[in-house]
Chains A and B, each alone.
Chain A
Amino acid sequence: MENNYQLSRIHNYIHGLMSREEMHALEREALDDPFLQDAIDGYKMQQGVDVKSLSLLQQRLERRIAEHAQRKNRFYFSWQRLAIGMVGAVMFIAVCTLLLIRHLPNGQNTNVTEVELMDDALTQTVVHSLPIGDAQPVDGWEAFSAFVSTHYSGVNTEKRLKVRFKVGQDGLPYDIQPQVATNQPIYEEIIQVLQKGPKWEGKEGYIEIVFPE
């Protein structure tokens, strides 16, 4: 408002529409306000105030401000998109890492297994005595283990099997009690294997058979 007032004063001043007193007042004001003085000089050079072009200029400023708001919105949206993209990327990397972590140790495990398969102890059945029993195979534990290995069918869910038996005068095992449910096929099989097997020394046998994996 004040601005329009000044503008119309400038207009009147330039076109000589002011009284002497008013002119003097404006001139005096302008002496203390170089801004006003320069503006008056400028309009004087332009030979008048062009209100139309000034209102166009106002509109230009308004457009400029509106445009900025739009640009800000655009920025905002693209930021949002970028954020979603980033989250997606992070999740993708996380999933990949998880998969890698899962698969990598697995690969190592199989490697280890392969190496251990070379180990005879794991491919073969091992038989050893348990503390209570005193019976020992005549040919030694190794030979007995090999014997079990060859004669054992491999159909078995047990990994370790404890077997109690007694040794007769003739060195043959009798009263063989595998420590497993009697309905398991391995129950009968072990009894047969032991009966067919080598002779024993001692009186009472308590052994553990460790089957390969």
Chain B
Amino acid sequence: MDEKEQLVYYKQTGDLQVLGQLYAPYMSLLYGVCFKYFQEQAASQDAVMQIFEQLVHKLRIHDVDSFKSWLYVFARNYCLMELRKQKGKMHVDIEDNMSESEQKLVTDDEGKWTEDDFDKVHECLESLSHDQAACVRLFYLEQKCYKDIAEETGYDLNKVKSYIQNGKRNLKICMESGKNGK
């Protein structure tokens, strides 16, 4: 059974064994995600189990297309809700997280690039802030890793990451607005 069949099967039967098979492969990634929010081992482990408990019910009701992205969004929302509940223990910079959450997991509109698009990329790169443009260039065009970029530019490693993330997003918005304008 592949993931989709397992989802359908679970929805019909409620067989926890199947849900376990679905869930287990994502546990270590989920644990990482939870740790990012809670920054505590026990709390993160509990969260992983709690998310599973919630899936037991949710997956019997909802039709889920892509389990991985659905699970990610669900887990993140769960963590944010939990943090909101225990206010004061907040460790997370929401701003920083929002920029990432806006990204889509599946990007299938890539592929057909024309000459115009390449020109457009350069135009759009110009429109980015200096930091973002520099990091995006180094990362995408020169294929350097964050560490090298940080060394080269002197930026903090986390800054590099967020420049690239935001730069990529802005670039995409810029490209799409161009397409719509045509």
Residues of chain A having any CB pair with chain B under 8 Å = 2-4, 6-7, 10, 16, 20-21, 23-24, 27-28, 31-43, 45-46, 49-50, 53-54, 56-58, 60-62, 64-65, 68-69
CA distance A191 to B157 in the complex (A): 136
Interface pick from B31-39, B57-65, B120-128, B173-181: B31-39
| The residue from B16, B31, B139 contacting A68, defined by CB atoms under 8 A apart | B16
B residues near A53, Cβ cutoff 8 Å: 41, 45
Cβ–Cβ contact A24 & B24, under 8 A? no
Residues of chain B having any CB pair with chain A under 8 Å = 16-17, 19-20, 23-37, 39, 41, 44-45, 48-49, 52, 68-69, 71-72, 76, 100-101, 103, 105, 107, 139, 143-148, 164-165, 168
A24 in contact with B20 given A6-B29, A60-B49 (CB within 8 Å): no
A residues near B71, Cβ cutoff 8 Å: 35
Cβ–Cβ contact B144 & A20, under 8 A? yes
Majority secondary structure, B binding face: helix
Cβ–Cβ contact B32 & A62, under 8 A? no
Cβ–Cβ contact B100 & A38, under 8 A? yes
Measured CB to CB, the nearest residue on chain A to B23 is A61
Query: How near does chain A come to B1, taking the closest CB pair, in angstroms?
Result: 16
Going nearest first, the 4 A-B pairs with the smallest beta carbon separation are A39-B32, A42-B32, A42-B36, A23-B145
Cβ–Cβ contact B105 & A38, under 8 A? no
